[in-house]
Structures are given as C-alpha cells and as structure tokens.
Amino acid sequence: MFKNKKRSYRIYLGIIVLLIASLALSGIGKAWYYFNSGADRSRALNLPPNIPDAHTPLIEWLPDDPNTGRAMEPFTRQQIMGDYIRGLYQWQLSYLAGKPVGLKEYFTPSSYPKALNTISTLERKKLTLHQTDLEHHIQLHFYSADGQIVSFTDKRVLHKQRLYQNNTKLFTTESIDDFDVVMLLDDGYWRLKHFVKRTPSATTSLKKDSLLDKSKMVSIRKNQFWLYGKAFQPKGINYYPQQTPWSFFWTKYDSTIIKKDFRKIQQLGFNTIRIFINFQDFERGTVPELRLLQLENVLTNAEKAHLKVIVTLFDFMGDYRLLNFAPSDRQLETILRRFQKHPAILAWDLKNEPDLDFKHHPTEDVKEWLAWILPRAKQYDPNHLITIGWAYPENASLFKDQVDFVSFHSYRSLNDLTAGIDLLKKQVNSKAIVLEEFGVSTYRGIWAPLGGSEEKQATYFREVQKILKQKGNVPYLAWTLYDFSDVPADIAGKYPWQRNPQRYFGILKKDGSPKKAALLFK
Amino acid sequence: MYKKVDKLLLIALILAIVYHGSALLINLEKTYDAYVHIFFADHYVRSWFEPWEYRWYTGFPITSYPPLSHQLIALFSFIGGLKFGFFTAALMMLCFFIVGVYRFAELWVPKRSAGYAAMFAVVASSIVQTIHIYGQLPTIFGISCLMNALPEVYAYFRTNERRRLITALSILGVTVASHHVTTIFGMVFFIVPIIGTALLDEVGVEDAPFFRIVFDLILLVFKKIKQFLIFFPLVIIEIVLIIFPYWYWSKNDPITQVSIPHGSRDSFIEVTSSGIMFFVIPLGFSLLMLPYVFKSLYTRRNILLGLSFSMLMLLGTGGTTPLPLILLGKNAFNILTLDRFTFWASVIAIPFIGDFFRRLLEGDIRLYLVRTVGKFGYYWTLSIPICLVGFQAIFITNFHKAQALQPPTVDIDPILKFLSTDQHDRWRFMTLGFGDQMAWLSAQTTALSIDGNYHSARRVPELTVEPIERIENSKFKGIQGIGSLQQFLTISEKYHLKFIFSNDKFYDPILYFSGWERLQRLDNGIMIWQKPDVPSLPSFLPKKDMPKFQKIMWGVLPLTAFFTLLVVIITFRKKYLLNFFPERENTAFRPQDSWIIIVWSLLVLVFFSYFWIKGFLYDPRKSPETLLKNYYHDLDFKLFKDAFSLFAPSALTYDNYILQLSVKDGLLASYGKLEDISIKVKERFPHKLKVVVKSNWTTPLEVYSIENPHTLIEKDGKWFIVPPEFDKALAPDEHLEKGILALHSQGKRKITTATTEHDDVLDRPELHILSAKLIQYGKEYVVVGELQNVDYLPAHVTIQTQLYDQYNVKLVEYNAKYTTNHKVLPKEIVPFRIEFEETAWVKQADVNPMKFNPTEFTPFEFRHKPTSFKILARAVVADKDLYRDVGIESLSFDKKITGDVINHGTDEVSVPELLTTFYDPDGSVRWVDHYFLRDAIRPQAKEHFSILPPPIAKTKVLQSATEKDFFINGLPQTSLAPTYLNTGRFDIIPQTNGKGFYRIIVNSYLGNPTIY
Amino acid sequence: MLKLDHIVMLFLLLWVFSRCKHDAPISSNGAVQLESDSTLTVGAGLVVGIHPVNIPLGEKILITCQNSWGMDVLEKEVNGSSIRLILSKKFTRISGMITLKVFYLGKELGRKQIEVLPKKTAEPLDAYLGAKSILADGKDWAMITAIPTDTFGNPVENHTPITYEILRPDGTQYEIQATTENLVSFQIINSLTKAGKTFIGVSLNGVASREKELLEVADFPVNFTIKADSHSIYADDHQFFKIKTSVLRDRNNNIMPEGTAVSFLCKEPSGTGRFLNSYTIDGVAELSMQNPKEAGTLEIIASVYGGGKSNVLTLDFASPIDHINARYEAVNQRLNVGPLIAQLNQLVPNGTQVKLVFDNNKLPTLLQEVVDGHAYFDFTDLPKGDYPVTIFVYGIGKKFVINRK
C-alpha cells in the first residue's frame, strides 16, 4: 500500500514539474511572439521620400521675353521651378550638413564641382552657413524646341544668411541680386548648368491689390477703434471650443459647436473673440484648401453673431531659423490674401507672446523674424489692422511703429497691471493699446488647496474692468470662455500643479453653466 | 581524485575535423542557409558599425539577427575570404561542440562512455543535417556553447566556486551573442533541469525515502538562494545587454516578422516528406536507441533531464498531435520552427547512446551477448549498429545527391561582370530561380536587389513526388509589405528595378507581357531581362537611423563576449577538461533488456517499409480513376513514355506520339502545372466508358480549367485510354521567305565610362493619346484608352495613370500591366487598360501566400471617390519583340466573339494575347480586354478562340478625358499637334448589334525567336 | 575649502556672463572703406584695400566674399595700417558679381561689388540639337542651341557674334550670323519638303562645335493602292497568296520610314471579318493572306491611321468542290465522307473541316478533319435508328440519311 502511494506521489510530482515547465514554455512562447510581431508591414518599403516642397519661397513669373524660341506651358513652368527651388534647398541643406546631401541630381556634371567647393571651404574653416532664398521673380528668355534647355533670369532674389562658428552667431546679413540661369533637362531632373550673379535690377512690379470700401471693417482713427462711423469699444473673449481646445480646434473642427458657442458669447455681452491658427495644422508653406474653408466658416459664423475676430497666426511655431522664413511667409500670404476682404476680421495678431520665446531662442533671431513678417503682412493685406500679442507690457513697445495698435497680456497682480499700462502709455505715447489676455483660475484642489474660487475670479475681473476704465477705456479680451478637461503639456508646463489650474480659467464651467464672473460683461 | 581526459575525445576531435572538413568543402553551396550567413558576414566586412543594410528589400536593419557568428566569419574572411571564414568558424565551433558533449556526458555517464558519446557526436545525424543540409551555423554556435556551459552551471551549484560562475556566464554570453533562441529555450529545457540534478546530487538521491529527498531539496534551494540570486539575474542581464539593439528593434522590423509556412509544423503522418526531413533524419540512429535512452533517463537521479527530453520529443513532432499547438500557443506556434526541439532532444540522447556503445563494446552487454549468442554471433550483432551509424552519416552528407534541395549551382561571375559594367548597378536587380544562391550573389556585389533571402523558409521539396524545378513553394511570389511579383514587374520605376536574372523558364511569359525584354543570355545560361525607361536610383537612399551608442554596442559587445570566453578558457585550460565529481554509473538498462531494442528497431523498420512497399505495388490500371489520375500526372511531368504505356493499342506509334507532344508549345504545354482533376462519367458501356475530365492548370499568367472527353476501354481487368486525336492540318508551304525589319541602336557611340553623351541619347518617340475614359466596373475603377506612336521609330511605351479626387488630391498612380502592347511600331495604334493596385499583403490579415498565384491582385482601397485622372505616357526607342505577322480570321461577334488566330509569319508564337478594343459610336474607346490563348501557333497554323463579349452593361463611365489630361514624355499633349491628314478609322468593324465598333490585335510572345 | 554657496555664486556669474556677451554687443561706430578696381577678367587675382576707421587695434574683422557659386570667409586683425586682401585665382575663376562685405562684432560695416567678366570661349563649343528628327513637311522646325563657355566653364558675354553653317538634304548650304543673348544662342531650322539628313556646324570666333545631324523624315502617307498578284481562284482555306501595297509616300513624295504599321481589314465571303497587319519595308507593306473557307468575294482594305487608306480590293473565289460523296459502312458503324475531289481532280488538302449537322439537331454537331481525302464519323455508340443529317464541306451542304442497324 505504501509502495503504490509513493509511486502516486512521484507521479503527482512529475506532473507538477511538467506543468511548471509547460507554463514556462508558453510564457516564453508569448514573449517570443511579442518580440517578433506587431510591426507595421508598410514600413518594410523604404522609398525615397518625395516630401511635399518643404521650401516654399515666393515665386512670381514676370512676363516672358517676346521670342523665347518656344512657348512654355504652365505645367513645365511648375516642373522647372520645382527642381530649381529643390536644387537651391538641397544646396542650403548641404551647407548645414557640411557635406553634399542629395545634391547630385540637381546640377550638371560640369557645374557640380563648382557647387561643392564652397561646402568644403566652409567645412574646413569650421564655419556653418545658414542661408535661405525668399523671393524669386522669374523672367523667361529661352525654352528649346525639344523642351530640354531653358534660360531665364531670376530677378531681385532676396537671400538671408547667418554664419555660425561652432554655434555662436558671427553675423546675419541680407542681399538682393539677379541671377542669369541656364538649366538642362537630363534623366528626368532639371539640372543647373549656369548660375551667374548680376547687379539687382530695378524693383519689380509686385501687384498692389485694389482698396475697397472698408466701412464694414474696424479701423483706427485718432487712436480710437471706429466701426460704421462711430466709436467701437472691443470687449472680447479668447475662444476655444470646450471639447477640442488648442491643437484639436482644426483637426476636429465642428461648425455646429462653433455656431452654438458664438451665440452664447453674444448673449454674454461680448463683441469680439480671439482665435488661433496652428502653424503645423495649416501645414507650414502649403496650406491645404480644407483648412482655409474651415477658417472661412469660423469668420462667417462670427459675422452672423456680430462678433469681430482677432486671428492669431503662427500658433505653436517656435522655429526662428532661416529655413522657416519661407514657409511662414507662404502661410502668411495664403491666409491674408484669401481673407483680406472679410469684414469679420478685426485684426491679425502676428504672433502670440513672442517675448516668451526670448528665453528659448536668441532674441535677435525672434526680432529678425518679426521684422521680416510685419511689412509682408501689411503688403499682403493692407485692409486689416495688424498687432502682436506680447506676453508682458514692458516688451509691448517693440515694433510699436509697425503695428496698428499695441496689445499686451497680463496675468500678474492688479498693481503690476496698472504700472504696466502706465509704462506702456508713456512708451507708445498716444497709440491705442488693448489688453488681449487676462484672467484667473478658479481651480481649488490638491495641487492648490487655497487656490482660486469663482468669487475671487469675479472680484478680479471687476477690478480689472475698473482699472481699464480709469486708464482711458482700454479695450480688453478675457482668457477664456470654457473650462477644459485637459491642457496640452507645452502650454504651461507638464507638472500637475502647472496643468491643473490651466484647466479652470473659463468663465463658463465644463458643462457650459456660467460662473459668477460671466455676468460682468453685459 | 581527478582522472585524466579520455583518449577517445582526442580521436573524436580528429575524426570531426577530417570528416566534416572534407564534406563541408563540397556541401557549402548546396545548403539552405550557409549563403545567408555569408551575406550577413559580408555586411560586417563592408560596414561593421553601420547596421543598415541597403542591398536587400528596400533596406533593412541587420540587428534582426544575433551577430556573433557572422562577425566571426567576417573576421576570418579577412584571412581567406568569406567561404574560408564560414569553413573555419564551422570547424572551430564543431570541435567546441564535441568537447561540450564530452563534458556534458560526464554528468550522466562514466568517462569512458563520455568518450564514446563524443565519437558518436561527430556523426550524430542532427548535427550532420544542421551543417550539411541546413548550413545553420548559429545553431551550431548556440548548442556547442550550451553544452560547455551546462557542466559549469552544474559545478557552480554544487560547489559555489567563483571560477565556475565566471566560466558559465562567459560561455552563456557567447551563446546569447550567436543564437539567442538556444539560450532562452535552453533555460527551460537544459539549465533548470541541470541545476535540479545538481541539487539532487547534493541531497543524495539513492538511499533516502522519496519524501525525505523532496523535503531536503526544498531546504537546499533556500540554503543556496544566494547563488540563484547571483546566477539568474546575471544571465538575464547578459541576454538583454549583449544584443540590446535586437530586442529594441525587432519589435518594429516587418521584414523579419513574416510567418513562413514551415514543414516542421505539418502533421508528419499526412506530409511524409516533412516527417522524414524534421523527425526521422534529425533523430536518425537515436530513433532506434529510444528505449535505451528512455530507460536510462527515467531513473531517480536523471528524472528532470528525462522530463525535459520527453517534452522536447513531443514538441518536435510538430503538428502530428495538437499538444505542441496548445503548449506554445497559436501565435508562437506559427512563428517558431519546431525542428529545433527535435534537434535539442537528439543532443540530449547522445551521452546515453555513447554509454550504450561503451557497454556494447567493453561492458556488460558484451559479456551477456557473448554468453547468449557466442563470440561469432556477438560480432554480427555488433556490426549492425556500427553499420547503421556509418550509413546514416554518409547518407545525410550526400543527401543533396539523392534529392536536390537547390537549383544547380549558378556560376555568378558573368552576372557580377554585367552588374559592374556600364553603371548597371545604378538600378536594382532581382534573381528568379536561383534558390538561396541569390545570397551568395548579393554578397559579392554592392548592387541592390529588391528581393532578399532573409528567411530561406527551408523550402522542403515534396521528396517523393516532384522534381527540383517544380519546387512549388519556391516560386517567387513577392514580399509582404513591399509588393507582389506582378507589382515589381508592372511599376518597376517605383522600385528602380531594371534587371532580372532568370534561371527558370516559368517566368518568361509574365516578364514579356508586363513589358520586359530579353537583353542577352549570359554564358552561364542565365537570361537577363531588362525593363526599358526606368529611372536610376537617387544618390540619397532612405534609411532608418539608429542611435550611435546602439551601433557601437552591436559592433563591440558580442565580440567582447567571445574574447572573454577565449580568455576564460585559456586561464582555466588545465582544469577545464577534468571532472571533479565522482563518476556516474547508469545501470538502469540491464543487458537482458536488449531484446527491447531489437523489437523496437524491427517495429520502426516495418513502419517505414510499409510506405515504400505501398508505393511499389501500386498499379494504375486497376480502376478508371487511378488510370486517368496517373495519365494526367504523367502529362504534367512530361513522362511521355509512362503516358503512352496507358494507351489502348491503336495506330498511334510511340515515336509519332512523342513527336506530336514535344512539338506542342504554348502557355499550357510548356509553362502550365496541373493543380487537380475531377472526373465525370458521361456514358457507360460494357468494357467501355466515356468520361469528361475537368482539369485545373496554373500557368504563369492565368488559372485555366479545361474539360476534355476521354473514352476508356477495359480489357481483361485492365483499363486503357483511347489515344487523343491530333491536329491534322498541314502547312501549305514547306519553305517560307519573308522580308523582316531588322533594327539596331548603337547606345554609346564613344566607349567611355562617363554617363551617356547628350548626342547619343535618342529623342523619346512622340505619342498621341486618341481617347481615354475613367470607368467604374463593380467596386473597382479602371482607365481604358488608345494611343498611337506618331514618330518614325518603334517605341517601348510606359503608360501611367494618376487618379485625383474632387479636392484634386492624388489618390493613386499605376501602370498598364498585361492589357496593352508595350512595343509599338511607327503609326501603330495600341489599346491600354489600367487597374489600380495597393502594395500587396500590407494589412495584418493578409497571410503569407503559400503558392504562386498568377492572378495575384490587391485592389486599391478607395477612401475617396476618384473624379478625374491624368495619363502620363512616355516612350523610349525599342528594337526588340516587334513580331506582327499574326492576324484574326473568320471573326464573328454575336453571343460570343469567335474566330481563328492565324500565324502567317516565320516564327512560332508561344503565347498569343488577343487585345480586344470596343468603341462607342463616336469612335472613342469604351472597353479594352485581353485573352491569352492556351496553345502556341506554329507558322501558317490556326488556333480557334471563343471569348465572352465585354461587360459594358456592368460598367459606368465616370469621366472621359480631354487633351489637357494627357502628358507625353513629360510635355502636355496640347502642345504637340501631330500633322494628321484625316482621322477616319478604317481598321475597326461595326458591332453587329449596331452600337459602336470593335477591333482585335494580337500581341505575341515568341518563346525562342530565331535571332536574325 | 570652498563653501557650497561659493560654488553656486561662481555658477551664477558664469551663467550671467555667457548671457550678456551674447545679448547686447558693445556698440561701436566703426566704419570701413573698401577700394579695389571694379571689374576684372576671370582667373586674374584681385587685390582689395580695406581701411578700417576707429576700430580698436587688435580687434578682428570678418571679410566675406561671395561670388555666383558660393562664399569664402576671412578673418583679419586690425593693425593700424590698411589691410591688403588678395583673393585667390581659384575664387575669381567664376564669372558674375563678387560682393565683398566687412563685419565687425556682428554688424556689417561696408560692402563692395566687383564684376568678373568671362574669358574668350574655349573648345569645345557646347551645342545641342533640339528634336533630333523632324517631319519633312515644310512646316515642322527644330532648333540648334549653343551655350558657349570659357575655359573655366563660365558662360560667354552677351551679344557675342556666332555663326551657324547648315547643309540641307537637297544640297543647299548656307550660313547664318547670330549673337548670344542671356548666355545662349539659338537658331530655328525650318524643315524643307525633302526627307534626309541636315548637317549643322556652329563656330564662335574660331572655336567650333561637333557636327550636328538633324534627320528629316516623311510625314503621314497619302492614299495608296493594294493588289494581290497571283492567287488561286479556289476558296480552299489552305493556300496563301501575297497582297502588296504600292510604295507609301507622303504629300511631298518622301518614302515612309521603315516599319510604318499598315492594318488590313477584310470581309470574308461568309460575312465574317479579318484583322491582319504588316509594316512597310522600303515603303511597301506585304502580307500573305490565306484563301477564304467558302466561295464568294473577299473584300480587303488597308489603312494607316492619320494618313491614307487603300482602294477596296475585291477577289472572287470559287468553291473547290462541287459535290460531296459519302457512304455509311455498316461493318464498322462509321460514316465515310469522301473521297473529296477538288476541281483539279486532286484530293482536298489534309485538315479541311467537315461538319455533320443532325437535322433534328437533338445530337450536337460533329466536326472532323479530312485526311487523304476522307473524313470518318464513328457511330458505334449511336443507338439504332435512322438519322437524317447534312454534311458541310467548304460551305456546300449535302443531305444524307444514316441508318444504324
């Protein structure tokens, strides 16, 4: 009896060991499967990327020469410009990289060495050249019968350059020249054969848009906002839909929600809103038609709700390097030219709080970019007002002559606000000023136990209104309409004690019910 | 206390070097994977620290395979070339394996038996198969390191000496670096049982009652917990750290994650060839020794190893029983190849077989046998196992002579010369019908190939049935996520694929009809096909970069693991081979049990001979079904003598029959492969049967199902077929004379290495697109149209169409595949039809295609409805494949389109393709279709055809294009106005039902054109 | 021992110092005069005098010189006297405008532009012939383009005279004077009406280019004729006969280039159609056509799309047989059709099709081929009874009754 009991124990033990072993085995099998599956099969195919033209300078075809040998079709012009600009772009990337990058296809065998020797001289001297071309005015001279040779002059090419020695900037410069260019079509690519610099010719005819009746538009007379012939006192709110704030505004755009919100804003007594154009969502230099249609929808809804709109451009764009000048110029031109006649627009705010970027980027670069964008904005849309929404009043006096009115934000104490306004009034003497963003969070939770409350927010708003009235009826836009369920990390920092307060700046709760402060604007 | 090393080990080492050394010299080319490892080694020779490999697929990271074995081959290759590298690495590791087996055996059997085990290990069938059939060098690296590591692990857990820990870890490090799978699974099947046995030995298993042992064992585990906490974490760290980039990147590298159909997962009863290849051959002689092995394993002391051995055997049986599938889980089962379990099982068995031989030759079995059958009988019985072992070794090394696993070796020098001349390596190439030698070609050149040989899938030929060039799953189908073969050939400019080296006639029709032309036949018999007008590779190829530190880790850590191992072994060399533990004696198997082995061997013998005899007694003529099945099988494999033997006696002589069949060419006769047949009896008469046989044939271009009637006659119990009727028409003229257009373009007139001069590049012939329409046909969108070559030179035309949605965003672009004639004579009009495909098998659901599917088509998934399209046609001057002497006769179109295709020229047309164009009343193209004739047409012969009318009712015209949508050679067609005198059409026939016209032209593929 | 706060202070200082240097450079009102000659020819060295004004000694100034294809940067120390800068020959080898700029502490002090003129054109003169082949119809045109460059590859000055020498297929030779405009010079060559090769030579003050060849080819063909020289009059669906076109020429009498596709469309006596095609060799397209299956007329028309078409050629064919004899061999239950005798009392060619249609068409039509004059229909499996059938050969029918005993 004892013998077979022992045998049964031995069998039990054997089974247990087998069980453990098979468990271990299936565990390893699963781990093995985890490590050897789940790859996205489409990544197997690595094709040379035909990235949408990342470099989009202004290209304008001047009238061709009378006898160009053969008439050139628009399709071919597009092909030639495509390869010409791409060639220059690859050249600039090669300067950055210090070695030729994808350069071979865009230069003929005889001209290729010429393009290389500057790259090697600069590399030898440990210098890095940042260069970009921003304007091209092409006059066609010759186009061969078999469509293989083209000669044209690139007039008044605007070049911007910055030279760095192990990433300290030596200088930044700008030059305008003419280039006589000959290109050959070979192996499917238009290749640069001759590229001769000439003295720049006289100013080219940049087409001036006709002025139109601006009665329906807000204008500034004697530093006062005027609309329909009488004074207009902007009183507005910064607007994001409750569900889709910040970067979801455009990607998850829904016109019904916009219409509902605008009616609510109107009922609360506001007459202005401020919206944001995300630079990346509008795909940098090549703005898709879909986004322009969405912006148009916002503006028409605003007009129906009798609200004026301050459109803030270049949101979430933190790149002030030269290679970003051309795409920002193109996005500016596409949007401004498209909506230059739209009555609902009060003003274009060219950059939200650029002075915050002074910390992360060299101040000169940020200023150089602003100096570059301001005149171009005026050129693309002479009808609407232009401003820049500075984060602090002390910086708001920068570029005060180029902007139509000076805007600043204030999240500091009330006395800072009054001091800031006084300082600013002295610096900009009589120019109109607008408080574009102010507000306080009603958040009270573990991260800020004695934090804000609705009463504190209401009293703060009343105080601000009083100060602004004393300082000469300064127009204002509060931040912001709704409380949000989540705030992206790069707005106010990624730590919970920074993000949570950011979610409760609204004057309406998450479900849309008004807080005490909401009733102050009637 | 420690005894000297057994002299047999020395003999075994010498034997291994001599035997394997000589065999490997011949077998290196014949194996499956040797060349893949040589290719990887070549990568390390060219760029040690840059893991991105450009030459296969469109680039893949080489961190998808543990590098040590490849890096060693690369290092040795600096001395004597890649093959020398592979050769030395293999022999080095083989000797390390023999030593490993000897030291591993000392744990279970006495020293003398360990010597015999080492001798047997030299000729163990699984090792010989891994080297000489699979050429799997990493597996050898893995197993030899594991074998050497186990005794160290055992000693460490017995004596807790630091030295043992160091040696164990350094050996395991090399195992991870060369074959990580062996380490991971080795953990479960080897290391844990060894540690268990070590603890059992500590506790002393013989005397105490069972319970006592278990209790002491658990106690011991807790006592030695410190050793566990040192050993296992260190091994885990080794596994993760040494090949860290592998773990980091294998998660998102799609190339390696192709679940390949593998014989080792089949049920070995149904698929006997997999059974032999993955079970019988790896076990070989040890199959007969199973009773002895099981008996000695299932003792109290060896029980843990015994359990591990039986689990490995179970897993090794693959799909025969559902157990492995349950154990491993469905996903892992489909990824892992299960033959490695049989391999490990066979390695565990070696020590005990050595023990058997020692007892048979010197031990108690010898005494028992001499007593029972006398000295003379003993010598006889002794000779049987020894002969079996000898036969097994020789048979497996020469296995490829019995059943070729690879196409005959291709001399790659002419190909290398072609690739290096005239900048041919500025395009991608592909090889067809090379088997695994493709990797050897890639290793010798920097030219890029669109195909790769990463997982050679150990394509197992159905051993019993099919000759080599018919290895069915070896036909090239395409690569998951990159494209199917048809896609490579149709849109080759997307892949920059210009040259194909074809070693298999099967692909010729596909190549011709997708626009490829024969460039030249090299002197090694390989035909080079070329696709004209393909842009060369851009100078800047995309690559997925990897952080710098990982690249350095990948290049340095595995090698440091290897050199630490060398240092460790050299420092402990004196004590390394000695066994510090008392010798084990395993007397579980008593000599008188020998009869079990004999009975078991007879059983195995009977089992195999059953299959062999069944095949032998098979007489096809017993019943009509078997008769017809056999007849069609003989036709399929062109065994005309056997087919003739099935005929009823008649006027047809054998020579006449052979003449008629061998002269028969065409898509079915020369390129088709029989899939299956089904028999329907029409009429039954006494001793006579009228049947209709429906047979399905796969050809390179289409799948055909054919019905032909047969009459069968029965004469005294045996059935015969009445021989078929043959075409009786005779060609009227015995001798044909005809003026033929001969063309030649000089290419580069000045022989220089520079790119072609501007003057030598002929202008692109000018085309004119007459009409084109975007048509919706069911769920798919199709563009049909017609174009004329208005230039004075014959043109090779590439027609590409781009579809746009209403936002003018480009949805897809594709080229015309079969439904056009890619070569156009001056002033000739050619129809075209373009369907739109997506990259094949990108979605997870699409499984790796098992068989070559001629009609492989992955329809493009239209998320937006296409509303407009552009046609970009481009042409280059052509001077080949311009055979136009084929026409259509007695053509009528009522319910069906019927007629005869007549060849009034001087060449035999192997595959004629009818291109039918249907026009609207206004003369613009409404529908285009193609139809491949099954049989070839000899000069002055006719072939009847009957095809279905066009499905015009089921199609809807979405948009008919205007001139502004056409682009010729990159220029808009609006700017090219051909000087037409008149645009009347006198080459189209009105459709009988009055609505519109139709036209048929023939595009003919000449299998072997008379080179004029 | 350095206290912790010392270290912190040090860091702060360092940090501040690095910021400030960067931010507000010491503003200086330095200036500079640059003087050098304003033009030079390619390859000559260039000396530039730089006179810095109130820049502290020992300070460094940056000089950048930018030509058409790139830039070079040099650093020079201010040592009181004016600085002589020599630009290397390698740099001035590229023609076009050179801009010199001087920078001090990130601010541009002055710039000067120097014009670099190219040298004389050098061998070989780059000439390109657009459209290497044109139609010889008097309207088409091609273009010879020359892009002359000097030894360093710089394009030549505007308005340099250039001469074109042209020899036409009809033997006339003439010379054209032209000038280069915007780096290129081109000349349109209008086609004449005679097909052949035109040769062009380009030369520019003594420097010549390679010979260029322009091929002038024939235009679309005009209407042409087709004829069948000898053909048998019997529609035996067996013999072939040749059809030839006249020499295809274009409006200006030029012969068609080799390989011009000609398509043939025919209407057979039985109403069915034929599509055949061929191509011209020496202007003539030849086609071997098979006799029709039935008696009647065969109409053939040839055409080249966009060009001319031929006349409609009608050929009459008689039936090769006038009667069909057939008998039923009861002994081996088969119908023996034949011997089929054609008009020359010869046997009908092997492979001729014999069709047997059951009048009550319950059974399918049977087809057999003639071998040595006979065609056999096997009826062993046919149940007994009489079966009225019609036998067709070459479209001629014959009634017959099969009585299967």
Domains parsed from chain C with CATH numbers: 31-117 (2.60.40.1930), 126-217 (2.60.40.10), 226-317 (2.60.40.10), 326-404 (2.60.40)
pLDDT tens column, A373-408: 999 999 888 889 999 999 998 888 888 888 889 999
Residue C128 is nearest to which of A141, A149, A170, comparing CB atoms?
A149
pLDDT of residue C221: 94
pLDDT of residue B38: 93
Strand B829-835 relative to strand B997-1005, pairing: unpaired
pLDDT of residue B532: 92
pLDDT of A343 above 50: yes
Are the C-beta atoms of residues A80 and A74 closer than 8 Å to each other?
no
Which residue did the predictor score with more confidence, B59 or C175? C175
Residue C71 is nearest to which of A118, A199, A363, comparing CB atoms?
A118
On the CB side of C119, CA atoms within 13 Å amount to: 12
Residue C184 is nearest to which of A115, A151, A163, comparing CB atoms?
A151
Which residues on chain B are in Cβ contact (under 8 Å) with A101? Answer: 540
Strand B483-484 relative to strand B478-479, pairing: antiparallel
On the CB side of A61, CA atoms within 13 Å amount to: 13
Residue C220 is nearest to which of B980, B986, B1001, comparing CB atoms?
B980
Are the C-beta atoms of residues A88 and A161 closer than 8 Å to each other?
no
pLDDT of residue C78: 82
Contact B979 C140 (CB under 8 A): yes
Residue B732, chain C, CB below 8 Å: the answer is yes
Question: Tokens 């790796």 label which residue?
Answer: B848
Are the C-beta atoms of residues C100 and C112 closer than 8 Å to each other?
yes
pLDDT of A51 above 70: no
Q: Would you kindly state where each structural domain of chain A is located, as residue ranges?
A: 58-198, 219-521
Which residues on chain C are in Cβ contact (under 8 Å) with A69? Answer: 143, 145, 186, 188
- Highest mean pLDDT of the ranges A293-297, B23-27, C398-402: A293-297
CATH code assigned to A58-198: 3.10.450.240
Provide ipTM, 2 decimals. Answer: 0.78
Contact A141 C181 (CB under 8 A): yes
Overall fold of domain A219-521: TIM Barrel (3.20.20)
Which residues on chain C are in Cβ contact (under 8 Å) with B902? Answer: 290
pLDDT of residue C381: 79
Please give the helix or strand (H or E) that residue B799 lies within, else none.
Answer: strand B795-804
Q: pLDDT band for C57, please (50, 70, 90 cuts).
A: confident
Which residues on chain B are in Cβ contact (under 8 Å) with A185? Answer: 970
Query: Which among A400, A455, A454, A442 is positioned nearest to A425, based on CA atoms?
Result: A400
Mean pLDDT score, C338-361: 87
Mean pLDDT score, A40-53: 71
Q: What is the DSSP letter of B280?
A: I
Domains and CATH numbers, chain B: 7-30+65-405+556-609 (no CATH), 413-461+469-530 (no CATH), 620-721 (3.10.450.100), 767-1005 (no CATH)
pLDDT of C172 above 90: yes
Contact A38 B256 (CB under 8 A): no
Question: Tokens 């291109």 label which residue?
Answer: B915
Closest chain B residue by Cα to residue A74: B972
Which residues on chain A are in Cβ contact (under 8 Å) with B247? Answer: 35
pLDDT of residue C26: 47
pLDDT of residue C21: 40
Residue A443 Cα, gap to closest chain C Cα (Å): 35
Residue B379, chain C, CB below 8 Å: the answer is no
Which residue did the predictor score with more confidence, A5 or B954? B954
pLDDT tens column, A59-80: 999 988 888 888 888 888 988 9
Residue C269, chain B, CB below 8 Å: the answer is no
Question: Tokens 């020398």 label which residue?
Answer: B84
Share of chain A above pLDDT 70, in %: 95
Contact C279 B758 (CB under 8 A): no
Could you give the C-alpha distances from C257 to A252, B826, B881, C131, in angstroms and in order?
63, 8, 19, 17
Under 8 Å CB pairs connecting chains B and C tally to 149
Order of strands across the sheet with C46-53? C31-35, C46-53, C83-87
Residue A76 is nearest to which of B307, B755, B971, comparing CB atoms?
B971
Which residue did the predictor score with more confidence, C138 or A203? C138
d(Cα C367, Cα C358) in Å, to the nearest integer? 12
pLDDT of A309 above 80: yes
DSSP code string of A168-188: EEEEEEEEEEEEEEEEEEETT
Phi/psi at C24 (5° precision): -115, 95
> Which distant-in-sequence residues (6+ apart) come within 8 Å of B43 by Cβ?
B53, B55, B62, B70
Closest chain B residue by Cα to residue A147: B971
Closest chain B residue by Cα to residue A70: B975
Could you give the C-alpha distances from B525 to B411, B415, B432, B503, in angstroms and in order?
9, 11, 13, 8
Residues on C contacting A at a C-beta cutoff of 8 Å: 22-23, 62, 64, 66-73, 90, 94-97, 99, 101, 103, 106-108, 113, 115, 128, 130-132, 141-143, 145, 147, 149, 153-155, 181-184, 186, 188
pLDDT of C2 above 60: no
Contact A21 B255 (CB under 8 A): no
Contact C220 B828 (CB under 8 A): no
CB contacts under 8 A, C 76-105 vs B, are none
Residue B922 Cα, gap to closest chain A Cα (Å): 30
Contact A194 C69 (CB under 8 A): no
Structure tokens given for C269: 């006596």
Are the C-beta atoms of residues B268 and B275 closer than 8 Å to each other?
yes
pLDDT of residue C9: 53
The low-confidence residues of chain B, meaning pLDDT below 70, are 1-3, 206-208, 258-261, 455-474, 615, 748-749, 751-757, 845-850, 994, 1011-1012
